[in-house]
Structure 1
């Protein structure tokens, strides 16, 4: 293997990342969720019930925009691999794109007085652009992880802290968005959503800049600029990476369909829209399992821990289905809590296991392409969110959903199908895919071999 395709390590395998840096890293995902979770959770409701766009038009918008937008991930990943600055490869993106990202979030919830066609054009432009700028600040969170440390246990800790921070951001959004909208809007939901996203976006920009200042890329590549054709080589025979792409797609499709219909389900099926912030607050349950994720993963393995999370998520969804059939709020709440426990294990390991595929790809193919490989998370997540959003809107449209009106029995079943049953199908498929994931068993072998290669390279360099 040529020297330019090897890793030059700046820290020993047992190096720990300082707590200040750990927290700053975790806050990057808090920032992304503060702004982008408003889009993922409430944008469909905003479009249909606030801005006045039909559910069918929103479904087409979500599908077209997200499919187009999904391909920005690999492009940005290639840019990361080809970036070489004094700050590293991934860190500069926090500096360059945090403000544009915050601005586009605000514009997405801006409601200019336009014709119906004009509203759709505005929605397309802002929705696509906010997704692109989201990739520019979110992809580096994953791509920088292999550069922060080469210690697998430390990566699990960092990934857990990241997800903990992201969950905090998600909870703030899901619990407080509607109350803040009501408070700031004083009855005007258009004004309320605009001021709320403005507030969240300002905080997000500050947190992203903090991540830029307080993180450090320790594990560097001798090949300062990785050529595109070399990056593509890292995908060859990288089965763990392919499985993680599928996992990201399925997980985010299922979660998008569930999250987007939460407000519909409680507003129309149960007639208790006031419970939405409380139900969203139950996501705190995922924080409990996140705290235990590193210890459980060290004992059971990352794959088995994620499978356990998927099983818990499925059980929680089934309980929610029983509660929905009986219109029992207490049973639904119980199911939501169990589901949150499961998704805590899943979300805590997605980025960690994807970062592991960077090492695996280097071991198999001699190329370390962290930008391109980790960009798969964005591609899978965005494509999943796009398909999920389109399916949600399509099923609502087929059910005859009409905003702010009494729903028919068919439209109520469509809402319940989105909220309860489709996520179960997604989680089952994801669990089956994980049974083909074998990187956990090979981790010690490929890390030892990579360390030996790198040690030889350092000795030859002297």
Structure 2
């Protein structure tokens, strides 16, 4: 545990972070993904086949809650930009919001015995409150990165380790949730989901408290609270930031549509619902993409790396359309897509830190909380909300009914939602990312100029 991550910056000074501190930062995403990915992966199935909502009602909850919730991202960004405590600017929220976050997570899967309208209202309120709390947890995960290091290579490495931590959380929930629900509920999925989510909530709470206790911020102490108008000005003419936000929305559109449709596809098209757990376990292939990033960006640009991730993800999803009933080919296609999504989900988080620098260089304002809140939490929520709603809308239009024998048209719609739909979203994301190329070429000169403005001071 005494190992250090050591990188020399452009001035020749060395940037060192103890390995336990790197792990503490990574644990934030482990906790966030363990809980939130349980929601994004299983919520549509849970609402329709366990809680008893219609697919149209469930899809409407995902759409309404996510769109409303998306607008709390800039609010959280403003709050963080105005936060100054003895613990720093970002990390206190892993202490303050951890209990509400885990509580609403459990309540969301509690399945109270209500009328159809009561279930809709309950589902909408708990889903919305959980999303607000997740933004309070997730926004500091991204906005703290510029305050953990001023060295671009260290930021990329920190982000890669953080994403691997997130992948670990996602692996646990994606692989074991359905099995735990079955085992702990002893055939009663309502009870199974209750106990499983309580278990996950306790683990997530412990991880967030560890992250709060062991991370440190180096830049926040000297930053003054920013008026809202100034935070908004940090986005003015910040074109690389706009490009990343839009591209990231399309990533989450693709990712949410593929994960939302997965259980339906394995249950109704493949005839083996439990195979969804196998495919979710294969999402571990995302780690291949994540681990490769620090090595790849030494040879090609970050923009090119992100584009490759998008296109590889699209290729894997397209291949699913041609796998037929072959579980092996389905697994291979899913793994190819997972390597691509591992790259595509990781790169924007690291690149957002550079857009914070661009905003400071362009407008003289460093609004890391606001810019990363929009760039991460807003993009995630809009993308996941629409990405979960579109498959529900498509399947509902073709006559999907929970637990019933599905028509050929319904099966075709499910197959489209897991193959072509996410592929189209990923391809659009790649096209948008191409516009980032010219801004990446300016990064080195921007960092040099910013360093000169700050009097040549680097982190202690």
TM-score, normalised by the number of residues in structure 1 = 0.94
- Give a deviation string over 1:63-91, Cα, whole Å, max 9, x none: 11110000010000000001111111101
1:221 deviates by 6.0
RMSD: 1.4
Q: What SS does structure 1 have at the residue aligned with 2:17?
A: coil
Query: After superposition, where does 1:114-193 map in structure 2 within 5 Å?
Result: 114-193=114-193
Unaligned runs of 5+ in 1: 1-10
Q: Which residue does the alignment assign to 2:5?
A: none
The answer to whether the 8 Å contact 1:13/1:151 transfers is no
Q: Which residue does the alignment assign to 2:360?
A: 362
Q: Which residue does the alignment assign to 2:288?
A: 288
Q: Which residue does the alignment assign to 2:377?
A: 378
**Which residue among 340, 343, 353 is the counterpart of 1:342?**
340
- Give a deviation string over 1:420-444, Cα, whole Å, max 9, x none: 1111111110110111003321111
Q: Which residue does the alignment assign to 1:271?
A: 271
Query: After superposition, where does 1:386-397 map in structure 2 within 5 Å?
Result: 386-397=385-396
Q: What SS does structure 2 have at the residue aligned with 1:15?
A: strand
Q: What SS does structure 2 have at the residue aligned with 1:91?
A: coil
1:111 deviates by 1.1
Q: Which residue does the alignment assign to 1:25?
A: 25
Query: After superposition, where does 1:252-271 map in structure 2 within 5 Å?
Result: 252-271=252-271
Query: After superposition, where does 1:62-461 map in structure 2 within 5 Å?
Result: 62-220=62-220, 222-323=222-323, 326-376=324-374, 377-437=376-436, 438-455=438-455
The answer to whether the 8 Å contact 1:319/1:334 transfers is no
Q: Which residue does the alignment assign to 2:7?
A: none
* Larger displacement relative to structure 2 (295-304 or 425-434): 295-304
1:354 deviates by 1.2
Q: What SS does structure 2 have at the residue aligned with 1:236?
A: coil
1:24 deviates by 0.7
The answer to whether the 8 Å contact 1:13/1:150 transfers is no
Unaligned runs of 5+ in 2: 1-10
1:220 deviates by 2.8
**Equivalents in 2 of 1:126, 1:12: separation in Å?**
50
TM-score, normalised by the number of residues in structure 2 = 0.95
The answer to whether the 8 Å contact 1:94/1:211 transfers is yes
Q: Which residue does the alignment assign to 1:5?
A: none
1:396 deviates by 1.0
